Each structure stands twice: as structure tokens, then as C-alpha cells.
Amino acid sequence: MARSLVVGAGISGAVLANLIANNLNENVLVIDKRNHIAGNIYDYKDQKTHITVHKYGPHIFHTNNKKVFDFLSEYTKWHYFFLKPKAIMEGNFASIPFNLTTLYDVFSDPMAQKIEENLINTFGYGKKVPILRLREYKEFEFIADYIYEHMFKNYTIKQWGLLPEDIDSSVTERVPVYISHDNRYFQDKYQGIPLDGYSQMIKNMLSHKNIEVRLGVEYKNLNENFDRIFYCGSIDEFFDYKFGYLEYRSLNFDIRTINKEYYQPSAIVNYPNNYDFTRITEHKYFLDEKSEKTIISVEYPAAFEPDKNERFYPISNQKNNALYEKYLNEAKKAKNLYFIGRLGAYKYYNMDLAVEKIFEFFEKELK
């Protein structure tokens, strides 16, 4: 019986191992250098408060892809949840993404009404306009500058160390200005949080007689032969950084238990303009968990430094993308070696896209 190796027990590795085990009737060994499964979507129940904590930052599942949702639904039930975050702008809790309701959070009613009418007349109700595009309209100079200055500029400097116009435009396009009173962060058809947590969902996916999971194991220290290797880590590390380092942004989390029932009015509050952190997550909101206390994590962006912190966000730019391609060409010389997942593909995938990409990969390469 053929035997594959999957390096990394995050969502991409787990989905692939599951597909191989179920559809190809092969054996799969899944290893992870961390001592837990689920990669950066790992969550755990705090022993004292019983609140589920997203250790590596907030994860809200959302997709329009029914196939992805149905697949994951085989391994979890869902707590239906819409993320409605706030940002502190000029001292007010304002709805984000910046939308028509936000106008009334930050301006007087007559002023908000005037801007609202102009936006609807130009773009149409329900349209999404990336901030950098809105800035190109002379007639929207005031509102575009306001949103840019109060929501995007300093947040992006903290998060990426760069101005919004100096990062890949797809990043700020994730949070377009929304010509709507819909206050949700996402408009996808399917949204929610796994009822028993992400870690349990991944555990269920990996529970198969053909799948073995070994934790705390470095790929480099594994001395076994495999028919195929699927590597979900960073491609530069695999090749010992021989062409140079791929850049990533990292995050540090200050996770604190607070002695009151609620800390803030929503699961996530962004602080674009104050402090060194970008946002605070209050974890009990995700599953509507009840406790006299609450747990928050304060999120501090940082540069990624190998062996010091974790990789979170690939930094897509010409230099990094060219370096990635160079490594990928090297990888193509090897047979039966594949780089997959957010790190392996060096792409800012959401969870649903990570799953979709594994489906595509499986169909194309393994079926």
C-alpha cells in the first residue's frame, strides 16, 4: 500500500490527508513540528473559564462554496455567527468595514445623509468599493481621505510596516468600503464557527484508520521513505533558504483573562490609530460562551524571524513572488514533492480557499 507524508497538520494538510485516506485507500503520515494539530486555526478551551480561545488570532469561517461548507460539515456542527466588528475612530465605536452605518457613527446625521446619497447615486446600493479606488474620485476626496486616514493608513502601517498603496492591492481589497447598511464583515452565504472548535474539526478529519498523526516532529528529523511528500510549510525553509528568505508578517498575542463579564461590545475591535496593537479579540463571543470572566487577546504585528516567531501572512510583492517561483522551479525537479497550503503556496488564503485549493489539487494531481 502506498504511503504519503503530509508535513503540517493545519487545515490544508488535514483536508488532503483526509481525501487521500478516504478516496485512494492509501496510508498517510501527518507530522507537525508543533505539539498540536490545526496549525494557525488551533483553538483550545481555557481550563478555568471554559472559554474557547483562538490561540493564533480570530478565525471566522465564511464561504460561498457549498462544496467546501458541506465537506467541513461532515466533521463539525456549526454555531451560526456573523462577525460585526468595530473600529475605534475618533473615540467612537464605528462599524467596519466602513459602510453607510459607519457614516452615522462618525458624522452628524445631515452630513452622513449627504455623503450616503452621493455614494449610492454614484456606485449603487450594495456595491463594494476598495479604498484605493474611492480615493481616485475627486468628488469623494473628503470621505475617501477620512476613511483612508482613520481606518486604513495607521492600521496598515502597524500590520505591514507599509502604507496601503505600497502593499499588494488585494490586501486592502479584502475590506472594501461597502455602500450598504449591512454591518457584517463578510457577506458569504455560509458563515459560522465550528461548534466544538476548529481543533476538534481537524481532529475529526484526521481520525481515519489510514492516517497516523505525529506531533512535535520536524520534517528534517524524519528518516523514512514515502511515495509522495506534501509539504505545507514554507518552501524556502524546505530548501534551507539557499536562494534567500521569503518574507512574512508575524503576530504576537497577549492573551489575558479579565475579571468582568464582557470587555468590549463585539468579538473584534480594531484600533487603527492608537496604541501599537491592531486589534483586540474577545473570544467568548464566537460561540456565545457564558462566564463571569472573559478572555481577550491583544494583537501586535511584527516582522517574521525564523525560529523566533510564527509565519502568518505572506508578503506578496515582486521580489518575494519571484523568489517563490525560483524555489518552485527547484521543487519541480524533484518527483512526487508538492508544496501546498497558505505557506506552501505563499498565498494569503482564507480558510475556505485553502480547502478549495486542496480539492483542486487533489482532482488535478492525485485522482
Cα angle for residues 164, 169, 173 (degrees, 5° grid): 95
**Which DSSP symbol is given to 177?**
E
Query: Which of the stretches 17-25, 151-159, 225-233, 326-334 binds ligand UDP when contact is defined by CB under 6 A?
Result: 151-159
Assigned C-alpha cell, 211: 492516517
Please report how close the Cβ of residue 148 comes to ligand UDP at its closest, in angstroms: 9
Query: Which of the stretches 114-122, 167-175, 221-229, 322-330 binds ligand UDP when contact is defined by CB under 6 A?
Result: 167-175
User: Is 272 among the residues that bind ligand UDP (CB under 6 A)?
Assistant: yes
User: Is 151 among the residues that bind ligand UDP (CB under 6 A)?
Assistant: yes
Residue with smallest beta-carbon separation from ligand UDP: 155
Please report how close the Cβ of residue 195 comes to ligand UDP at its closest, in angstroms: 22
Out of 61, 71, 140, 152, the only residue in the binding site for ligand UDP (CB under 6 A) is 152
Out of 18, 76, 156, 297, the only residue in the binding site for ligand UDP (CB under 6 A) is 156
Check if the beta carbon of residue 284 is closer than 8 Å to that of residue 51.
yes
User: Is 175 among the residues that bind ligand UDP (CB under 6 A)?
Assistant: yes
Cα angle for residues 360, 127, 143 (degrees, 5° grid): 125
Assigned C-alpha cell, 276: 501599537
Separation CA 72–CA 38 (nearest Å): 14
User: Is 281 among the residues that bind ligand UDP (CB under 6 A)?
Assistant: no
Query: Which of the stretches 138-146, 152-160, 207-215, 315-323 binds ligand UDP when contact is defined by CB under 6 A?
Result: 152-160
Q: Which is nearer to ligand UDP, 96 or 345 (CB)?
A: 96
User: Is 40 among the residues that bind ligand UDP (CB under 6 A)?
Assistant: no
Q: Which is nearer to ligand UDP, 87 or 143 (CB)?
A: 87
Q: Which is nearer to ligand UDP, 6 or 100 (CB)?
A: 100
Out of 96, 106, 267, 323, the only residue in the binding site for ligand UDP (CB under 6 A) is 96
User: Is 191 among the residues that bind ligand UDP (CB under 6 A)?
Assistant: no
Out of 28, 87, 177, 229, the only residue in the binding site for ligand UDP (CB under 6 A) is 87
Q: How far apart, in Å, are the Cα atoms of 259 and each of 49, 175, 237, 253?
A: 11, 33, 42, 19
Separation CA 367–CA 24 (nearest Å): 8
Q: Which is nearer to ligand UDP, 52 or 159 (CB)?
A: 159
Cα torsion at 36, 41, 45, 48 (round to 10°)?
100
SS3 call for 70: helix
**94 closest CA partner among 150, 52, 38, 56:** 150
Please report how close the Cβ of residue 40 comes to ligand UDP at its closest, in angstroms: 11
DSSP string, 180-237: SS---S---SEEEEETT-HHHHHHHHH-STTEEEEES--GGG-----SEEEE-S-HHH
Q: Which is nearer to ligand UDP, 158 or 203 (CB)?
A: 158
Contact positions toward ligand UDP, by CB under 6 A?
87, 96, 151-152, 155-156, 159, 171-172, 174-175, 270, 272
